[in-house]
Amino acid sequence: MEKDRPMKKMAEAFKELCNRLNQFPEGEEARLELAAFSNACSLLSPLIRCLGIAFLFAEIDYVAKVNDLVKASKSVSLLPVMIDDDIRSDCVRKAGSHTRNLLRLKRTLDMIRILFEEIMCTEGNSLKDPASKAYKVFSPYHGWAIRKAVTAGISEALATKSELLNKMNEDEISSRIQMQSFVSSAAIVGQYIDQLFISRGLGTDW
């Protein structure tokens, strides 16, 4: 039986999101389907799980946010429409709002993209330096206690690169192909989401 390849699945799903974005003419705001986006995001949780038990709380929080958008997709079909609904209800920044959760998912995308970029340009088997660099995406938004816990998790309970690749059923060469693909697609999807926030004057630093 073909082994599960979560890294390949996430790379393919984000490539597919880019294909959808490319179908919109330049200068026009793309209308990405919320279901496609949230399903692609759900494919990132196996990776988070494989980073180590210390990231269990991160995974739980991430999955809850993804599920919120999966649920929202049953009644709202497009990502920009979901944001505009929250603007109209004046709940963009409210804890637990769809738009707030979307911003956290976008940040997770950025973090994983940077993690992969750093893994590809770092020698050796340790993920500590790549993970520390990737965490800079989130750390400004986390309080002291969470930052402290994440830093401890990275230095004491983080998987090694070979453990991660084994769990994802990848080797050095195959993983590089998937990481490279994810890095390019995630950058495009991330810019698209940033633009949705910026064009509505919502800002992205909260």
In the complex, the residues that contact ligand 1PZ under the rule CB under 6 A are: 48, 51, 55, 57-58, 61-62, 95, 100, 104, 108, 111-112, 115, 131, 134-135, 138, 146, 150, 154
Nearer to ligand 1PZ, 17 or 111 (CB): 111
Minimum gap (Å) between residue 152 Cβ and ligand 1PZ = 11
Candidates 65, 47, 8; CA nearest to 158 is 47
Nearer to ligand 1PZ, 11 or 58 (CB): 58
Minimum gap (Å) between residue 155 Cβ and ligand 1PZ = 11
SS3 per-residue string spanning 5-40: CHHHHHHHHHHHHHHHHHCCCCCCCCCCEHHHHHHH
Tokens 């997770």 found at: 108
Q: Give the distance from CA 26 to its chain's centroid.
A: 25
Give Cα separations from 106 to 28, 59, 160, 188, 196 (angstroms).
21, 15, 25, 11, 12
Nearer to ligand 1PZ, 31 or 104 (CB): 104
Cβ density class 164-200: b for 16+ within 10 Å, e for less: bbebbebeeeebeebbebbbebbbebbebbeebbeee
Minimum gap (Å) between residue 194 Cβ and ligand 1PZ = 17
Minimum gap (Å) between residue 104 Cβ and ligand 1PZ = 4
- What is the 8-class DSSP label of residue 138? T
Nearer to ligand 1PZ, 19 or 125 (CB): 125
Minimum gap (Å) between residue 130 Cβ and ligand 1PZ = 7
Nearer to ligand 1PZ, 151 or 174 (CB): 151
Distance CA 79, CA 32 (A): 6
